[in-house]
Amino acid sequence: MGKVYITGAGPGDPELLTVKAFKIIQNADVILYDRLINEEILNYRKKEAILIYVGKEDGKHTIPQQEINQFLYDYALQYDVVVRLKGGDPFVFGRGGEECLFLAERGIEFEVIPGVTSAISVPAYTGIPVTHRGIASSFRVVTGHEAPDKENSSIDWESMKANETIVFLMGLHNIEKIMDKLIQIGKNPKTPVAVIHAGTTENQLVIVGEIDNISKLAKDVPTPALIVIGDVVKLRDKINWFDAKLLKC
């Protein structure tokens, strides 16, 4: 019986892969990978490693989660090292916990290898720190998949009136509803917002606006994209180091 490694691949830049993740990918017999990983990372595998794509897209699940869980179990019975490779960190809206529970209930050994989450690294690559002294002393990460008008929402919208940084992951399709909800609860409509596509890569695209106009400004931005809300967005003009680096290349 083998072992499953629930592994974070980081936000996109292959150099942000952790050393531990790099080593286990090199040793993997089977790699089940998601849509949002940088496929350059797969080049680190040994030639005989089996690659299985199990990516999900918004509104379209190529393979249901239950089947992915079963794949992990079945391959662990046949191979020594099975890697479940996820974009960002496996425990930040990555359903890594569900996979761990499934394996634990069936007696399969597993290990979690955390990844650099896009919630922090993607804003950083645009010159936006999620916290900054005198501007934001806290931040929260929120799923953007859940529609703001959903009944019995698990999201505490009212508390978002606080002066902190809010990062929405996977929220592009709901961006208009999210912004309307924030205005509805009393958030200042002129609060700065950034929408970031393909963060940490050379294809990175950043659209900056405010709560009351970002939906229109970002209407043509492709997925995947991340939304950052808060006064820290204003710092981008002063510490936008990544664009400056690309210009020198």
Which member of 13, 170, 179, 181 is catalytic?
170
Which member of 3, 56, 177, 234 is catalytic?
56
* Entry pTM: 0.93
Per-residue pLDDT for 208 more than 60? yes
CATH code of the region 119-248: 3.30.950.10
**164: DSSP letter:** S
Reported as a single tens digit per residue, the pLDDT across 111-137 is 999 999 999 999 999 999 999 999 999
Distance of CA 15 to the CA centre of its chain: 16
CA distances (Å), 136 to each of 15, 66, 223, 231, in order? 28, 39, 27, 8
Which member of 29, 34, 179, 181 is catalytic?
34
Reported as a single tens digit per residue, the pLDDT across 64-92 is 999 999 999 999 999 999 999 999 999 99
Q: Could you say which architecture CATH assigns to the domain 3-116?
A: 3-Layer(aba) Sandwich (3.40)
What is the per-residue pLDDT for 59? Answer: 56
Active site residue 1: no
**Rounded Cα gap, residues 237 and 226, in angstroms:** 18
Domain boundaries, the chain: 3-116, 119-248
Active site residue 170: yes
The pLDDT of 162-176, averaged and rounded, is 95
